[in-house]
Amino acid sequence: MIKPRVLITRRWPEAVEKAMSASFDVTLNKADIPMTAAQLQEALQVYDAVCPCVTDRMPADLFVDNTYKTRIIGNYGVGFNHIDVEVARGKGIMVTNTPDVLTQATADLAMTLMMMLARRAGEGERQLRAGQWKGWFPTHMMGTMVTGKTLGIVGMGRIGQAMAEKAHFGFGMRILYHNRKPISQAKSRRLQAEYCTELTCLMSKSDFVAVHCPSSPLTQHMINEKTLAFMRPEASLINTSRGDVVDEQALIKFLKKGLIAGAGLDVYDKEPQVPQELLNLENVVLLPHLGSATEETRVAMGMRVLGNLNAFFNGEHPPDKL
């Protein structure tokens, strides 16, 4: 029996590559260099399945041909704004993603950013490594407490709720959230979470604002000059969702003027480029898109892709079909 041909566009954890190779005729991108649009377009004509990740842009103009061999795109990640899913469907190509498995890892990283901002950990490490630390004194690099503060969550899906759990039960934080609709009453009672119908209301009441909403035309630059203006000078912003949800230039303006206390960012509008103005600021924590970067999570993501491909090529319904 001939195995379906599968392209994996970047290197995955070794255990996943071995598992994929046992089931399919797999081609690996051994150089681990992002593929060009022309290479991705060619791949759609050669492989039965293509498995991209967030760095692989697959917009509408990539699907201009009408003769594709590819029948399924097994996206390695929960976010899929880099793929024009509707156009792909129109060409008869199914798209799947990897929900659930990266929830806790991303929520953990959002908590890390919040803690680093509150205690000025990035600034402190830079000072120490530069040999500028002169020893302990009472007013040195004072930050703020996290315990007992108010956390506003923008997007109360799986990751938002996971962060709320950690913040509320771990640090006694008050939880506010803004979402398309309220979460269940049972979950809301358990977290003692308050629903804010208006984003600006949440921004004005929160000590920390954590963005967890997906990228879409509706959420693009949702965090902008207008909404940032409602934050208090002592409040900080955290973004582990997608870079284009935040208007970076507006954020830079508010940070430079001290209109908000700080920002913790794991994602950027034009990754991997990061504005030099952000790099120059001391009141920000900048991480290189590490949200799901744990061994356990990255393996689980790959196995989720494998499960979707196995189901598809066995004539079954892939569990994560978009």
Q: Which residues are catalytic?
A: 242, 271, 289
Evaluate whether 113 touches 287 at the Cβ level (below 8 Å): yes
Cα–Cα distance measured from residue 137 to residue 127, given in angstroms and rounded to the nearest whole number: 15
Cα–Cα distance measured from residue 207 to residue 135, given in angstroms and rounded to the nearest whole number: 30
Task: Count CB-CB contacts under 10 A for residue 56.
Answer: 24
Cα–Cα distance measured from residue 6 to residue 162, given in angstroms and rounded to the nearest whole number: 33
Cα–Cα distance measured from residue 267 to residue 286, given in angstroms and rounded to the nearest whole number: 9
Cα–Cα distance measured from residue 117 to residue 241, given in angstroms and rounded to the nearest whole number: 17
Supply 51's token pair.
């498995």
CA distances from 38 to 10, 11, 43, 46, 253 (A): 16, 19, 9, 13, 38
Main-chain dihedrals φ then ψ at residue 262, nearest 5 degrees: -175, 180
Handedness of CA 203, 152, 76, 29 (dihedral sign): positive
Cα 123 to its chain centre, rounded Å, is 24
Listed in sequence order, the residues at least 6 apart from 229 whose beta carbon sits closer than 8 Å to its beta carbon are 259
